[in-house]
Amino acid sequence: MIADNLQQVHERVARACAQATRPVRSVTLLVVSKTFGAASVREAVAAGEHRFGENYVQEGVDKIAALADLRAQLEWHLIGPLQSNKTRVVAEQFDWVHSVDRLKIAQRLSAQRPAHLAPLQVCLQVNTSSEPSKSGLRPGDVPEVARAVAALPRLALRGLMAIPEPAAGFEAQRAPHRALRELLGSLQAQGLALDTLSMGMSADLEAAIAEGATIVRIGSAIFGARPTADSLKPSVA
Ligand SMILES: *Cc1c(COP(=O)(O)O)cnc(C)c1O
């Protein structure tokens, strides 16, 4: 079933790319495995996937350990909220962090990234819905933080990430993705070498790809509905 779902997701991505006249390989699928166990990840690996996203640090670390035999071929991305007391294990174990939302977190990740590993790949999370309760940087604060993060050693600032409010309809879904794309464009115009827009989930991947997403983060369309979705939903979603 996971393999069938993956095929359907790849078909959706391919259609959205064709619609947007973008090459399929310009969009990377990040398989969001939060709440699903190591066995589900193995199934996705058997179907050809190797990039996985986790929301919760401890769950991610446990899964990385359970899949240690596959570590060399997998890429692990943290996409959920990160508190400063959890940065060390993330710096030591993950390949990417999409959810950097303040400079202090980036400074800690930079200081704690082991020298023998490749630089930690990071995105800044932006609150495109401008609701005060949401996590993510306010768009107006992004340029200054981006310049500071880009200057840190042991990190590679790659781009921006957002989790827009659920919206019905293609045009309504496009608006926040467009805002993120324009923000990335303004950072690039200021000389920052960024190449990543992490946006688009199961419900809105077409709209995200139409607006330039380079990484789509897909969970439920691959693994099915998450168990006890309400209690497990990140506070930011
Ligand atoms: C859960 C989650 C996803 C995947 O959402 P689906 O709707 O299941 O595809 C993507 N990004 C983040 C940050 C998430 O927390």
- 90 and 55 in contact (C-beta within 8 Å)? no
Q: Does the beta carbon of 218 sit less than 6 angstroms from any atom of ligand 1?
A: yes
Atom of ligand 1 at shortest distance to CA of 79?
13
Mutate to test the pocket of ligand 1, among 55, 77, 100, 180 (most ligand atoms within 8 A of CB): 55
Query: Residue 61: CB within 6 Å of ligand 1?
Result: no
Domain harbouring 33, CATH code: 3.20.20.10
115 occurs within a structural domain: yes
Residue 228 maps to a domain:
no
- Residue 183 falls inside a structural domain: yes
Confidence of residue 27 (pLDDT cuts 50, 70, 90): very high
In a domain, 229, yes or no: no
Judge whether 120 lies within some domain: yes
The angle that helices 38-46 and 57-66 make with each other, rounded to 10 degrees, is 60
Strands 51-54 and 75-78: parallel
DSSP structural state of residue 137: B
What mean pLDDT is predicted for residues 63-83?
A: 98
8 A C-beta contact, residue 180 and residue 160: yes
237 part of a folded domain: no
Q: Is 172 in the pocket of ligand 1 (CB under 6 A)?
A: no
Q: How does pLDDT run across 147-198, given as a tens digit for each residue?
A: 999 999 999 999 999 999 999 999 999 999 999 999 999 999 999 999 999 9
Residue 24: give the domain boundaries: 2-223
Contact 5 CB / ligand 1 (< 6 Å): no
Domain count, the chain: 1
Say if ligand 1 is within 6 A of residue 232 CB. Answer: no
Average pLDDT, the chain: 95
pTM of the model: 0.94
> In this structure, is residue 20 part of a structural domain?
yes
Ligand 1 centroid vs 203 CA: distance in angstroms? 9
> Which residues, 6 or more positions from 126, have their beta carbon under 8 angstroms from its beta carbon?
136, 137, 138, 139, 142, 160, 161, 162, 180, 183
Q: Is the CB of 55 under 6 A from ligand 1?
A: yes
Centre of ligand 1 to C-alpha 90, Å, is 19
95-151 pLDDT, tens per residue? 999 999 999 999 999 999 999 999 999 999 999 886 666 789 999 999 999 999 999
86 contacts 57 by C-beta, under 8 angstroms:
yes
Say if CB 128 and CB 139 are below 8 A apart.
yes
